[in-house]
């Protein structure tokens, strides 16, 4: 408790973020692992017809 009864306020314009660490919860046995950051898939090359050098044309 302060002598004057008031709680000191931060200077206007100052923001003090309160960082709350996220708790690490181990996965339950038998549950599939959660993928937080999926790996990007590599672009696949177009499928070529046998004996040709161009991709298949739609008819």
For the chain, percent of residues with pLDDT exceeding 70: 29
Q: How far apart are CA 53 and CA 55, in angstroms?
A: 7
CB 13 within 8 A of CB 22: no
Q: How far apart are CA 54 and CA 47, in angstroms?
A: 9
What's the mean pLDDT in 36-59? 62
Q: How far apart are CA 35 and CA 29, in angstroms?
A: 16
What's the mean pLDDT in 29-45? 63
pTM of the model: 0.15
pLDDT at 30 over 60: yes
């Amino acid at each position: 408790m302060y002598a004057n009864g008031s709680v000191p306020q931060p200077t206007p314009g100052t923001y003090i973020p309160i960082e709350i660490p996220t708790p690490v919860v181990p996965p339950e046995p038998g549950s599939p692992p959660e993928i937080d950051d999926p790996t990007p898939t590599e672009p696949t090359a177009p499928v070529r017809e046998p004996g040709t050098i161009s991709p298949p044309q739609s008819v």
